[in-house]
Amino acid sequence: MKFLIYGAYGYTGQLISKLAKAKGYSPILAGRDEIKTQSLANELELEYTSFDLSDSIKLEATLNKVDIVLHCAGPFSATAKVMMEACIRTKTHYLDITGEIEVFELGASMDQVAKDAGILIMPGVGFDVVPSDCLAAYLKLKLPDANHLELAFMSESSTSRGTALTMTQGIGKGGAIRKDGKIIPVPHAYRSRSLNLDGKEKSFVSIPWGDVSTAYYSTGIPNIMVYTAMHPGQIKKIKMVEKWRWFFNLSFVQNYLQNKVRKTVTGPTEQMRENSRCYLWGEVKNDKGEIKSAKLTTLEGYKLTAITSLMVIEEMIKELPNPGYQTPSKAFGADFIIKVENTNREDI
């Protein structure tokens, strides 16, 4: 199967492109900026093309040359719909590395049209949300009648520019949880709790992570909340921001914050990617009060994203999952993440 990496010269796109080349694959590299795309393609000796997603003619002509697109150009809330719809028209399988709830929900809403087109739509094939999705599915197997799910994660690494830009855009949106099967808005830092994921007790706060969407489709559990590790001082700041959400939605404020991110954020160094770890925790509960919990320790998030996104493509080459909207664990099982080197899962 031939595949396209769109957004190949971005931080994560480059990691994926270089790993694909090292594994002997020959993807087509693509992106909006021709100079940056060509430079990476020349370095890796790969075919390339450049176009903006608004150029539907070139977009569809390119998709018609491949079987799969791995979409890496965020923020996905602004780019995923165009790419998904083009994939429907050209019958091209769609993958991306998003963590945005609205993109997962968009993919789910396209389930039937994707089935009619005979294609797979699977957002979130990286750190967002492969390890947490597989952990959720594992816990559901341990307690089949579970109706509450809580997930948490923490990383020893930093964020890329693209991730930081997405987070900046989300400041004015607030949080989100799933309650009784529905995704509902909640304030920033809606809930907090203490957890020990790496041998030390730390503060965690609820965030609108992708699993609020995906874990529902993977497990059927109707009540879902996701936490991330955060210093108590940061939690206080987040709660203060809640009072000024309207301010952070103003265009000039967003422009200022995004320009600052572009100038100051670069992403984890190679050393950080190699030496850092990510820690995940999950817990399910049923109406009887029974509880099952587990931990997952895995690679640094961006390194993991490069590995799992290509693992998904490799699985598709071996055997295509059923067409339509899929989550990683639905398509490949709860143990899919365990195939990644130096990944450990432990019942609590």
The pLDDT of residue 35 is 97
The pLDDT of residue 247 is 79
Q: Model confidence over 31-70: pLDDT tens digits?
A: 999 999 999 999 999 999 999 999 999 999 999 999 999 9
How long, in residues, is the chain?
348
Look at residue 236 and tell me whether its pLDDT is greater than 90: no
- Give me the sheet containing 28-31, strands edge to edge: 48-50, 28-31, 3-6, 68-71, 93-96, 120-122, 324-325
CATH superfamily placement of domain 130-301: Dihydrodipicolinate Reductase; domain 2 (3.30.360.10)
Give the residue ranges of DSSP H helices in 50-93.
Answer: 56-63, 76-90
pLDDT band at 262 (very low <50, low <70, confident <90, very high): confident
- Please tell me the distance from the alpha carbon of residue 223 to that of residue 146, in angstroms, as a whole number: 10
- Average pLDDT (81-97) is 98
Contacting residues for 305 by C-beta, under 8 A, at least 6 apart: 12, 15, 16, 97, 125, 126, 127, 128
CATH number of 3-124+303-329: 3.40.50.720
Q: Model confidence over 276-317: pLDDT tens digits?
A: 999 999 999 999 999 999 999 999 999 999 999 999 999 999
Closest CA to 136 of 212, 229, 230: 212
- Please tell me the distance from the alpha carbon of residue 347 to that of residue 106, in angstroms, as a whole number: 33
Reduced to 3 states (helix: H, G, I; strand: E, B; else coil), residue 104 is helix
Sorted by where each begins, the domain ranges of the chain are: 3-124+303-329, 130-301
The pLDDT of residue 200 is 87
Q: Are 165 and 83 in contact (CB under 8 A)?
A: no
Give the predicted TM-score (pTM) of the model: 0.93
- Please tell me the distance from the alpha carbon of residue 160 to that of residue 124, in angstroms, as a whole number: 16
Ramachandran category for residue 129: left, alpha or beta (phi over 0 → left; psi -120 to 50 → alpha): alpha
Closest CA to 4 of 34, 32, 27: 27
Look at residue 230 and tell me whether its pLDDT is greater than 90: no
**Tokens 């936490």 — which residue?**
227
pLDDT band at 161 (very low <50, low <70, confident <90, very high): low
Look at residue 149 and tell me whether its pLDDT is greater than 70: yes
The pLDDT of residue 253 is 81
CA distances in angstroms from 12 to 17, 162, 268, listed in the order given: 9, 9, 10
CA distances in angstroms from 286 to 290, 329, 330, listed in the order given: 6, 21, 21
The pLDDT of residue 26 is 97
